Structure 1
């Protein structure tokens, strides 16, 4: 263990010494992280190979993931996968052939540069290994102290905080920039405030109302979390795989039965599923969690072999919007399906990874410097132009 001020870093071998705080966030962290420390992250998420640590900052405990290369990792632990591999797979979304050719060449060159700079040699702070990391009630000073501790403990690693945006983290972003962090854009994300009718125009309200009507007349019933059993996890894993892995990318975290069962029993996620009244089969699922008034959905899937006209995606989205509205949460809708979300009142923001690499030699900083420049000058304008 290494200490700096009120910061304590725990490795796997010292996991039994972690004083998990008796708070909602502390109990959640224990249910989530203890099994992965005692077993392995890869046993729950097969395409996430990482060394997992837990850092205590006052009354908060946060996961820290440490990586060397692992260029085939899911993007949740591999910046290379996020900025190169995944980006190459999404070039088809850009309508201009000339732009696709140009960006393909740029990504190839960039990939070589990033590997040469040992780009994946990173320590990710508050990395829950899901698509969107929600942040507990840590002050900017606490997170800066965590970063200082990790810089001393792992002096040859870049420090990264994923999933930051101006909507939720304006003060933190400003504090990190003052501390010397770079803000490297990662994707365009969407927010919806379902509990505020003024946040939606007439068209958006009409579309959501139509989605509710589809759900009501569809022949599907909504199963709540406590209705789901261990025997349902293979089907839920299949639905997630159909959408997030087979349709989108195997670079997404590969949540299978083991992770979903841990999430179900430990209530790491709250599941809701669509079950056909006719066949009794589950054909859609979503799993969400909330923190500090924000809701996000790391697990989302449906049977893509069924006709699109059935509207499973629309029905799941209706369930999600209704759930967020009833709880009063701001709905973080992540990225993707941009036009669908905009039509229903969602507003966009740019998500960043805050990166500290000032302590590294120049050739190690070169990759992040190049990426910072290219994405701010080219990437963000393209995201906004094509509404990705």
Structure 2
């Protein structure tokens, strides 16, 4: 049922699809519209959540609603983010003492998170991507938005992920002022206009490789229907099989719609045998270029430089267009060598309307990250 509780903010559910596309005609082919028609696991295989859309005066944003759902992807579950994912990547940390400390901490946090219902959250602006950019309009909407969501979902905490200290500076300040519990939980890599990252020796070598490759660079409009299966396969090879099973597991249906309706801009690398061996994508929010799904054949010789060429292509485009480029977390040394700036990203949680025991996991996480954030930000796996 259509819920219009606070001023010009409206919550649209699956039953409100026709109201939604009537009001936001330009979004008829958007991911938001598709999430009002299909279950989210149609597009992200390992997601278990309920999706709705929060509509404002001139834009709309997806929100996810969870209760328990402990078997879930990172993008919808604080429990997966802070318990299951660290256990999945614990072997990638070098120091034995840090692995031991992390294992003990996470095992303790496991029970605490379940008892205090950490997954009972409504997450704002959850686009089911690992990277996002919060709109500048959120800074003035936070009081009304918080009121709306706490009225509509009085048993749920209100959650914002990936609040970037540089890109979302005003929003971060407002969230703190409005009583949200705020803590940094990772660092993202930004490439900034005016910074000489194209003059870095690593970037120059990557561009040289890009210019002499025997691969054909395939622009978005030249991708074929049969390429969709390969793109899906390459993404899974990298993010699900190599990195973590808790990364968003995008389906063929996701990539089909994303390419068809340009949810992201795609570029691919086709081998002389006709097969796609790498691809990269990006999307825009508020004049910021944000890396979307990417992938490459992890069985190929590293000398082929598939990942290097993919990132070089993005850097070249961001430089030409004078855009900030958000390449996300992880692979720290690779990105720093090419001139990235490391910027903290924060989680913000509003739970003042909830019983005191529901505050405990968020206080604990704020305390824990204050103690160990430096080590976590130094690790390439974050």
TM-score, length-scaled by structure 1: 0.93
- Name stretches of at least 5 consecutive residues in structure 1 with no aligned partner: none
- Give the equivalent residue in structure 1 for 2:13: 11
In 2, are the aligned partners of 1:21 and 1:59 still within 8 Å (CA)? no
1:38 Cα deviation from its structure 2 partner: 1.1
1:282: which partner in 2? 276
Aligned residue among 217, 229, 233 for 2:228: 233
Does 2:65 correspond to 1:63?
no
- Compute the displacement of 1:386 (Å): 4.1
Q: Cα distance, 1:167 vs. partner?
A: 0.7
Out of 340, 343, 351, which is 1:349 matched to?
A: 343
1:36 corresponds to 2:35: yes
User: Residue 131 of structure 2 corresponds to which residue in structure 1?
Assistant: 132
* Residues 1-388 of structure 1 aligned to structure 2 (within 5 Å): 1-2=2-3, 3-18=5-20, 27-28=26-27, 31-193=30-192, 195-196=193-194, 198-200=195-197, 205-276=200-271, 278-378=272-372, 380-386=373-379
Shift of 1:141: 2.1
Unaligned runs of 5+ in 2: none
Cα 1:201/1:287, change in 2 over 3 Å? closer
**How many residues were matched structurally?**
379
Q: In the aligned structure 2, how far is the partner of 1:126 from the partner of 1:29?
A: 18
Superposed CA offset, 1:212-243 (max 9, x none) = 11112220121110001221100000100110
Deviates more, 1:28-37 or 1:359-368: 28-37
- What is the CA–CA distance in structure 2 between the aligned matches of 1:150 and 1:371, rounded to whole Å? 23
Q: How far off its partner does 1:201 sit?
A: 8.6
- The more displaced of 135-144 and 316-325 is 135-144
What are the Cα deviations for residues 254-274 of structure 1, in whole angstroms up to 9, with x where unaligned? 112100001011100111001
Deviation at 1:11, TM superposition (A): 1.4
Provide the rounded CA distance (Å) in 1 between the counterparts of 2:293 and 2:151.
35
> 2:278·2:306 contact (CA, 8 Å) conserved in 1?
yes
- What is the root-mean-square deviation in Å for CA atoms of aligned residues? 1.7
The TM-score with structure 2 as length reference comes to 0.95
